[in-house]
Amino acid sequence: MFVRVGILMLCFVSFFQCSTKDKDLEFELRRSFQNYLNALDSRKEEDLRIVFNIPGLKDYKGHVDQLYLKYLDEVEKGHVSFDPQGIVLSRFLRLKHYRYGILDYGKSEDGLTAHMRISVYFAYDANIARSGLEDGTKLFIPGKPLGAVNTLVMGADNPVPRDQLKYLEMEMDLRRTNFEGLWQIMRFEPDEAKAQYEVSVKSRFDP
């Protein structure tokens, strides 16, 4: 009887430790991903070096700036391409302004690498309608397939119907840093097979 209780207690303790450890990892990955999004906003060399790991790269700010310039050119042409670290993806989808759910996460046996899969539901029409942007403001909305661009103008009659992104899952690989609890993004890419779209018939957005 006492042996059985002891085994049950051991299993309970082990389960509790694993659960606590997993929650700690979830917190670390969430914080690291938020740091990543903030660093893309600040575009400071010291911030970018903390959140990214791109072997051989010396000028992180220059790399991000170059990708943004390419993005600005491509978005005007109606289609954008994505980089392995998700820099353009994060900008195009405006991920910093959306809540995301964690579908899966974990780390390798040696604890040096981790992965996290997230999902985001987008509501572009609703967000644009309450944005308060001025007439004439140009907006770029993800279309179908992923990478296609819908160009909208506030206060103008825009083409309808249009296919636009509704839901997307994204996968990232991370590696542990020398800073406790912080991870660097090695890869951040969309799962296009999981993308869902909706048809919008809203033509006009007025301030």
* Confidence band, pLDDT 50/70/90 cuts, at residue 188: very high
pLDDT of 206:
86
Q: Which two tokens stand for residue 205?
A: 């957005």
Cα separation, 189 vs 175, whole angstroms: 16
Q: Provide the 3-class DSSP secondary structure of residue 116.
A: strand
Mean pLDDT of the chain: 90
Nearest to 90, CA basis, from 205, 193, 185, 197 = 185
pLDDT of 15:
43
* Longest CA–CA separation in the chain, Å: 77
pLDDT of 14:
42
The yes-or-no verdict on residue 8 having pLDDT over 50 is no
Q: Which two tokens stand for residue 179?
A: 């800073």
The yes-or-no verdict on residue 71 having pLDDT over 80 is yes
How far is the first Cα of the chain from the last one, in angstroms, to the nearest whole number? 72
Each residue of 81-102: pLDDT tens digit? Answer: 999 999 999 999 999 989 999 9
Cα separation, 96 vs 74, whole angstroms: 21
The pTM is what?
0.86
Q: Ranked by mean pLDDT, which of 2-6, 54-58, 101-105 comes out on top? A: 101-105
Vertex 166: Cα angle to 165 and 172 (nearest 5):
80
Number of Cβ within 10 Å of residue 58's Cβ equals 8
Each residue of 114-163: pLDDT tens digit? Answer: 999 999 999 999 999 988 899 999 999 999 999 999 999 999 999 999 99
Each residue of 176-187: pLDDT tens digit? Answer: 998 889 999 999
The yes-or-no verdict on residue 17 having pLDDT over 80 is no
The yes-or-no verdict on residue 73 having pLDDT over 90 is yes
